[in-house]
Amino acid sequence: MAFSFFAQGAAFALLVTRIPAIQDGYGVSDALLPAFLAAVPVLAGVGSVATEQLVKRVPASVLLRWSQPVVLLALVGVGAGDAMVQLAIALGVFGLAVGALDASMNMLGVSLQRSYGRSIMLSFHAAYSLGGIVGASLAWAGAHWHLALWVSYLPVVVLLLPAVLVGSRWYVDGDGGAGAVEAVKPGDGGGVVFKLLLPLCLVMTFAYIGDSTVSNWSAKYLQDVLGSSEQLATVPYNVYMVTTLVGRAIGDFGVRRFGAVVVVRLGALMAAVGFAVVAGASGAWVGMGGFTLVGLGLCVLVPQTFAAAGRLFPGASDAAIARLNVFNYVGFLVGSPLVGALGDAWSYRGAMVVPMVLVLVTLVYARSFAAQPDRYGGGHERPRTADVGRGSNGL
C-alpha cells in the first residue's frame, strides 16, 4: 500500500510541476490554461463519486489496481501529444482516474488501519509526500536539461507501472463496503451520514485551501512581497514538502500516544501560527519559517480526516471516504483563486489571513476526530486481525 501512495505522489508531482512546459508544448494560451487546470480536479471529483457507486459491486483493491496504471499511462499521454485535443483527452483520463485512485487508495488505507488496530494512515501519506519530492526533483532535472516531456515521463512510468501491478497482489480489502448501500440509501440514513460527515468535509476543504495557498503562492509571496531573489523564492515549497514528509513520518506515533483529537488540534494551531508568521513577516527568511510551520501543521489533517471518516462509519467507510475525497478537490479548486483574488483586490499579506482563519475553524470540529469503539492509541490497540501478506482475492 505504501508504494501505491508513493507512486501517486510522484505521478501527480510530475504533472503539476511541469505545467509551464505543458503549456508551451501545446501552445495553450494564458486565458485557456485555467480551464485545463480546473478540469482535472473537477473530473477527479466525478471519479471519486463514481467510485462510491462502484465499490458496492467491485472491491476497492480492484479499482486501485487498475486506476493507478491508467493514471501513469495518462501522464505519458500528456507528455507525448502535440495537439490540443490530445492534451484534453489525456488530462480528462488523468482526472477521472486520479479520483478513483485517491478514493480507493484511502479506502484500503483506512481498512488496513482498522485491521492493524493502530494509527498508520499518516505513514501512508508520508509515502505520498516522499513520492511528491522525488517527482518534483525529477521534473526539475527534466526542466534543467531541457528534456521533452515524454522523455521525462516515460522512464518513470516504465519503472512504476510494473511495480504497482506487482504490488497490487498484496492489497487487502477490508469490510468498508459492507453496509455502504444501507448507509447512504435515500430516506434511510443518507442525511444522517452526510450530517456526521460534514465537519470532516469542511476540515478537508480548509486543509487543501491552505495547501494550495502554499503550492501556488509561496514563491510569488516571497519574491513580490518579501523581496527575495527568484532563486530563494523556490525554496519555501521544497521546505514545505520536506516538513510535510517529516511530520507525517512521525505523526502516527503522536496519534498512538495522545490521540487523534490532540494531534489535529496541535496541527491546526501550528498551521495557523505559520500563516500568521507569513502574513506579518519582515523578510524572506521569516516567511520561510512561517511556511515551514504551515507544513508541519497541515500535514496531519488530511490523513486524520480520512481515518476519522473510517471510524465514524465502520460499516460504510468506503462510501464516506469517497464522498469526503471530493472535498479534497473542492479545496484545491477554491484555494488558489481565492488567495489570488484577495491578493489583487486587497493585499497578499491580508490574503494569508484567510487560510489562517479557515484552518483555525478546524478546532471547532476537532471532536469529530475522537476515537470510536475501535480506538487507536496507547493502551487501546487491538490485535492484528488481518493477514496483510495476502491479497483478498488470492492474486
Residue in the block written with cell 510569488: 220
- pLDDT of 94 higher than 50: yes
Domains 1-171 and 175-382 share a fold: yes
pLDDT at 392: 37
pLDDT of residue 127 exceeding 80: yes
- State residue 194's pLDDT score: 80
Confidence of residue 139 (pLDDT cuts 50, 70, 90): confident
Q: What is the pLDDT of residue 217?
A: 87
180: pLDDT strictly greater than 50:
no
Residues 86-111 as b or e (16 or more Cβ within 10 Å = b)? ebeebbbbbbbbbbbbbbbbbbbbbb
d(CA 107, CA 5): 12
What's residue 20's pLDDT? 83
The ranges assigned to domains in the chain are: 1-171, 175-382
Q: How far is CA 85 from CA 20, 37, 78, 88, 97, in A?
A: 18, 15, 11, 5, 18
What is the CATH code for 1-171? Answer: 1.20.1250.20
Q: What is the CATH number of domain 175-382?
A: 1.20.1250.20
Cβ–Cβ under 8 Å, residues 156 and 138: yes
CA–CA separation, 375 and 119 (whole Å): 9
Is the model's pLDDT at 233 over the cut of 50?
yes
The Cα 292–Cα 242 span in angstroms is 9
| Other CB atoms within 10 A of residue 134 CB | 17
Residue 169 has pLDDT above 60, yes or no: yes
Least reliable range by pLDDT among 28-42, 47-61, 79-93, 176-190: 176-190
Q: Do 93 and 47 contact (CB within 8 A), yes or no?
A: no
Instruction: Report the candidate in 299, 199, 200 with the shortest Cα–Cα distance to residue 242.
Output: 299
Q: Who has greater pLDDT, 199 or 186?
A: 199
The reported pTM is 0.86
Helix axes 60-80, 2-16, angle to 10 degrees: 30
Least confident of 112-116, 233-237, 247-251, 312-316: 233-237
